[in-house]
Structure formats: C-alpha cells, structure tokens
Amino acid sequence: MAANPERRYTLEEYFELERTSNERFEFWNGEVFSMGGASESHDRIVINLIVHLSMKLDSARCRVFSADMRIKVPSAPPYRYADFSALCGKAQFEEIGGVAALTNPQLLIEVLSPSTEAYDRGDKFTHYKSIPALHEYLLVAQHRTHVTQFTKQDDGSWKYDELNDLTSTVKVASLNCELPLDEIYRGVNFDAEPAA
C-alpha cells in the first residue's frame, strides 16, 4: 500500500478516480493509497482461498468476493478493500460515491506483507470491527505458514487463535466450513521471492 504524497484529494476527486481508473485505491483523510501490486505468493494464496472456499460453500446460499470488492467500513469511510471477503445469505450493497460497496461481509481475510502487516493487524482490524455483520477475520502470512484467526464472540469480544502447521485446519464458523492450511498454501514457495 503506497501513498501518493504529491497532493491531497477531496472525497469527490477520490470517487472520480475510483470510477475512472482500473486500479484500486483507498482514501484516508485526503490521502490516496494504491492497493495494486502483489507478490507471486500473495496472489497464489488469494487464488487458493477463492478456489477452495468457493468449492466448500453452497453457491446458492454463500458468496465469495475477490480483492476488487469494496467493503463499507462505518468507522473508516468511505470504504476499504480486503484481499478476500465472504458471506452466507443475501449480499447487501450501498452506493457510495457512485460505486457499490458490500455492507455485510461475515468473513474478511488479509494476506500480510511487510508494508501492510502492522496496518492490517492494527488500525484496519479496529475499523473492520465496526461492520455489524463481521464475525471472522483471518490474517494469512505469505512468507511462512501462519494464520491468525479472530472470531467474534456472543458478548462482542474477539477470540484470538494462531495456526502454523500445514496439518492444521481453520474452522471457519461464520461460513460453517473448514479450510486446511495445506489448501491455503498449496503451490506457495516461501523461498521463491521476497514478500511485497
């Protein structure tokens, strides 16, 4: 995630950029951040998540979304991009600045990289918690086998768990399915390239 420090944008200018560009950007207090560009490992993990979770879910009832889906985050308007989102039930959208944003993801996943890990673990997760429908948040490392899972409890607190063995399985309660780590990391070569 790289900032464009040359100028500050109005929200209207940002929406125009989003509507007319093939790139994805996030807006934060007048700054615009490019969400494009990923390493081979990052891309492979996201593809694995889309393929394997899509196969496990009832496609008539559940939906998965790629990194291009805008997510309405009430405490961090106008919206954010996650690497992966999913829900069971009817997807709900709100038009924000002339584009549609998903309002009810139940699961959000971020694939970590050195430039985004602190943000994904900290401020971004804090803001994601303002999404009423959100019940699970996964952080997937791309440089080693490691998944951090946050699951919302009935009292509103978040349970924390870590999995770091290819024989482990993430129990995705929000979608009522399981996701083995060997499926997440299938085809990923940790020594092939530096993480972006």
Give me the pLDDT at residue 4, please. 46
What count of residues does the chain have? Answer: 196
The domain in which residue 129 lies consists of 38-184
pLDDT at 193 over 90: no
Total domains, the chain: 2
pLDDT at 135 over 70: yes
Does any domain span residue 194?
no
Residues 106 and 161 in one domain: yes
Q: What is the pTM of this model?
A: 0.85
Q: Select, from the ranges 21-25, 163-167, 189-193, the one with the highest average predicted confidence (pLDDT).
A: 163-167
Does any domain span residue 189?
no
Of the candidates 193, 182, 190, the one whose C-alpha atom is nearest the C-alpha of residue 143 is: 190
Beta strand segments in the chain, E: 2-3, 25-28, 31-34, 62-65, 70-71, 80-81, 84-88, 93-96, 99-102, 107-112, 136-141, 147-152, 158-163, 169-172, 177-180
What are 115-128's pLDDT values in tens digits?
778 888 999 999 99
Provide the CB-side half-sphere exposure for 111 (13 A, CA). Answer: 28
Identify the band that residue 129 occupies on the pLDDT scale cut at 50, 70 and 90. very high
Give me the pLDDT at residue 26, please. 79
* 153: three-class secondary structure by DSSP: coil
What whole-number distance in Å separates Cα of residue 18 and Cα of residue 115?
22
Residues of the chain above pLDDT 90, percent: 68
Residues 104 and 160 in one domain: yes
Residues 75 and 172 in one domain: yes
What whole-number distance in Å separates Cα of residue 118 and Cα of residue 171?
25
